[in-house]
Structure 1
């Protein structure tokens, strides 16, 4: 793990803290948190990231989230994981 990944994880948790209760149901929050944990700690969370992308696509289509907010969260989640095998 490095500082950039740790900071991205912090941004994901901050988003959940700030927006989660108002914009996400408990199971949706848990899916996002589990994806962040898997990417940061297991380094094999890309299947979970895909699940979050599917969730956020549905939330945008339903008008619950903006596409910009969804994209930022996906970017932050992806940044939790290793890049090119370097952690």
Structure 2
């Protein structure tokens, strides 16, 4: 598993006109960590100010499902911190703010 300290995270983009924030979870140790960091960035909050992701979705199940999937077509959607989140087996996180 790669160390978070050595991973480049320049894999985010934002589309202000549509309110969609995109990120790539594949460079993170866990998809759940990537979701929390992406939601913090998309909402302009500190990650420590967010409710635990576990309050919205089973983070362990999210990690296990995505890490063990070989299907890029796998998609999961849920609401976290008042925003809609979509995460795919292809490594895409989309957040609608």
Q: Normalised by the size of structure 2, how large is the TM-score?
A: 0.32
Looking at secondary structure, tell me which structure has more helix per residue: 1
Looking at secondary structure, tell me which structure has more strand per residue: 2
- More contact order relative to length (CA 8 Å, sep ≥ 6): 1
Q: Normalised by the size of structure 1, how large is the TM-score?
A: 0.34
